[in-house]
């Protein structure tokens, strides 16, 4: 079994920190954390949401010993607030105000977390509009949204592989590419 990568463990830490921070807030200021939630945004309910997901892994430099590579991992948190007021201008204003507060909460949770060594590796956040393909799910509902992205340096060290030995794989380049894995021979055969 291959161990989880450092970038994956860091993502888990981000999610856990956001969930714990939200749980500590008064009920009026809690937000829902939905990791890896790409489609069907919960626009039918009101409230504040953080949708964190892993975005990209870029290889950097190889380091001193064999197999060790430094990567830059990029994470995104889409922040949405759905308002429930019946007057659309009041709803838009309420959603905008709550979004600004949600941004502050997420920044506090991630960057002021003194107990987490992992969070100290995160780079500066940037904020941008949420892409149109994500916004098209919203319809006419009153909401406010933004995208927070940041990166972190993360290391890769190869895990011990289990299974088929690479020397047992034979590849031929005939008319069609093919590969054959020879079954392991038991000593008693």
Q: For residue range 53-83, what is the model confidence (pLDDT) as tens digits?
A: 998 888 776 666 656 677 888 999 999 998 8
Burial class (CB in 10 A: 0-12, 13-18, 19+), 42: middle
- pLDDT at residue 48 greater than cutoff 70: yes
**What pTM does this model have?**
0.74
Q: Is residue 178 part of a domain?
A: no
The rounded radius of gyration (Å) of the Cα atoms in the chain is: 23
- pLDDT at residue 1 greater than cutoff 70: no
Looking at residue 172, its pLDDT comes to 61
Looking at residue 49, its pLDDT comes to 93
Give the other-Cβ count within 10 Å of 67's Cβ.
10
Give backbone dihedrals phi and psi of 10, rounded to 5 degrees, phi first.
-65, -40
Looking at residue 157, its pLDDT comes to 66
Mean pLDDT, the chain, whole residue set: 78
- Which whole number is the average pLDDT over 84-112? 85
Which CATH number fits the domain that encloses residue 80?
3.30.2000.10
What are the C-alpha distances in Å from 23 to residues 98, 105, 138?
17, 12, 26
Number of domains observed in the structure of the chain? 1
Q: Is residue 30 part of a domain?
A: yes
- The residue with greater pLDDT, 151 or 169, is 151
Q: Is residue 173 part of a domain?
A: no
Q: Is residue 156 part of a domain?
A: yes
Q: Is residue 117 part of a domain?
A: yes
- For the stretch 105-142, pLDDT in tens is 999 998 886 656 666 778 888 888 887 766 666 666 67
Q: Is residue 120 part of a domain?
A: yes
Q: Is residue 107 part of a domain?
A: yes
- For the stretch 25-36, pLDDT in tens is 999 999 999 998
Q: Is residue 179 part of a domain?
A: no
- The residue with greater pLDDT, 186 or 39, is 39
Which domain does 147 fall in, by range?
Answer: 6-162
């Amino acid at each position: 079994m291959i161990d989880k990568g450092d970038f994956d463990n860091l993502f888990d830490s981000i999610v856990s920190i956001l969930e714990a921070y939200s749980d500590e807030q008064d009920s009026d200021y809690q937000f829902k954390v939905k990791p890896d939630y790409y489609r069907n945004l919960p626009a039918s309910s009101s409230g504040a949401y953080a949708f964190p997901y892993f975005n990209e892994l870029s290889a950097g430099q190889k380091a001193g010993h064999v197999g060790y590579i430094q990567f830059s991992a990029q994470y995104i948190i889409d922040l949405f607030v759905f308002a429930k007021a019946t007057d659309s201008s009041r709803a838009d204003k309420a959603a905008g105000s709550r979004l600004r507060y949600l941004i502050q909460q997420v920044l506090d949770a991630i960057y002021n977390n003194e107990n987490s060594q992992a969070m100290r590796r995160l780079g500066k956040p940037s904020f941008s509009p949420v892409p149109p393909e994500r916004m098209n799910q919203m319809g006419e509902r009153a909401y406010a949204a933004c995208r927070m992205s940041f990166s972190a340096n993360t290391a890769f060290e190869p895990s011990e592989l289990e299974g088929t030995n690479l020397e047992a794989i034979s590849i031929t380049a005939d008319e069609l590419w093919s590969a054959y894995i020879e079954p392991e021979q038991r000593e008693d055969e």
